[in-house]
Structure 1
Amino acid sequence: MNGSRLVFQLLKIVVGFVSALVLCSLFLTWGFFQWDLPEDHPAVWGAITGTGLVTASVIGSVVAVPAGLVILLAELFRVRSLLVYLAGAGLMAFGLWTLGAGDSQTGLRPGTSVALAAGFVAGAVYWGIAGRTAGSWRARPASGARETNAD
């Protein structure tokens, strides 16, 4: 185990998680409120940005444990596939979105596609910052063994 690589990877994990939350929330806010935007009104853009930042903290508090488990497993098993991060974040977003659905609904809630896309955005952002180098802090395999994921 390389200590300096571990510290750098932990820093990338934190920055990646926060960045993914912020961009996901801004995507959600813009996706849900774009239909009612007046032309170039700065107060509306300020409200959308403020709402997005508050939404990021709410989403972060709800998904911290499941996302932390996914990140931990990905680091331990050196999972670097973009598809895994997209699927994990998409499932978390879909689960959050359907969490409050009542029994009287017979289909997907309106806005499900926007929520799912926001999860995909979060997964892609996290992968771009930290996921593509997952497990890089761990010891290298013996020189005779082949590693499937190159750094």
Structure 2
Amino acid sequence: MDAFHVFGRLFAIVFAFCLASVAASFFLAFAVPGWVPAAWVFDHWQVGHDLFVYDYQASGQFADLADMVTRLVVATVGASIIGGLAFVPAALAILVAEILRLRSILYHVLVGGLIAIALLVATRVPEAGSTRLPPDWNLFLAAGFVGGFVYWLIAGRGSGIAKPSASGPDA
């Protein structure tokens, strides 16, 4: 195994992780109602999912420019937050996949979902006396699935592709 191959593999892993974080964030920004903080609701525009879908269905056009820009900004900032929070658990999962040569789509998608739920549980502030997950926890799980799928598409299919050198005793 040469240094160029290792560098290329590391580049693919980092690139795939960044795009997986972006994909999960964009999924949350455009699919989860209320993921955008309530302080981002201004005068006549609402950043929620329902108004976006209603505007599109009623007019056949996307919501106003301010709504779209707000969603894009939230998705971009959210990608860095998701990437930062998910870095350590994702790095461990990627390391396991690389060592054990796990190339299964099922592994990567399930790990993405587990990381998303773990982050949701670890970062949420529960209401007094509440031990339940938020009602839209399944959308966060789906965002993790999206992130895991995007990672698998870019780098997960080649996990553990580095094979031992042929100069061993069998050569």
Where on the TM-score scale, by shorter chain, does this alignment land: which range?
0.7 to 0.9
Q: How does 1:59-70 map to 2 (within 5 A)?
A: 59-70=82-93
Shift of 1:105: 2.5
Q: For residue 43 of structure 2, what is the aligned residue in structure 1?
A: none
Which one has the largest radius of gyration?
A: 2
Higher RCO (CA < 8 A, seq sep 6+): 1
TM-score (normalised: structure 1) = 0.86
Q: For residue 112 of structure 1, what is the aligned residue in structure 2?
A: 137
**C-alpha separation between the residues in 1 aligned to 2:164 and 2:65?**
51
Shift of 1:28: 0.4
Choose the corresponding residue for 1:75, options 90, 98, 115: 98
Unaligned runs of 5+ in 2: 33-47, 57-61
**C-alpha separation between the residues in 2 aligned to 1:57 and 1:4?**
28
Kindly, what percent of the aligned residue pairs are identical?
A: 35
Q: For residue 138 of structure 1, what is the aligned residue in structure 2?
A: 163
Choose the corresponding residue for 1:36, options 43, 51, 74: 51
**C-alpha separation between the residues in 2 aligned to 1:35 and 1:23?**
21
TM-score (normalised: structure 2) = 0.76
| CA RMSD, Structure 1 to Structure 2 (Å) | 1.9
**C-alpha separation between the residues in 2 aligned to 1:63 and 1:22?**
12
Shift of 1:53: 0.7
Q: For residue 45 of structure 2, what is the aligned residue in structure 1?
A: none
Extract structure 1 runs of 4+ deviating beyond 4 A. Answer: none
Q: For residue 22 of structure 1, what is the aligned residue in structure 2?
A: 22
**C-alpha separation between the residues in 1 aligned to 2:106 and 2:4?**
28
**C-alpha separation between the residues in 1 aligned to 2:20 and 2:65?**
25
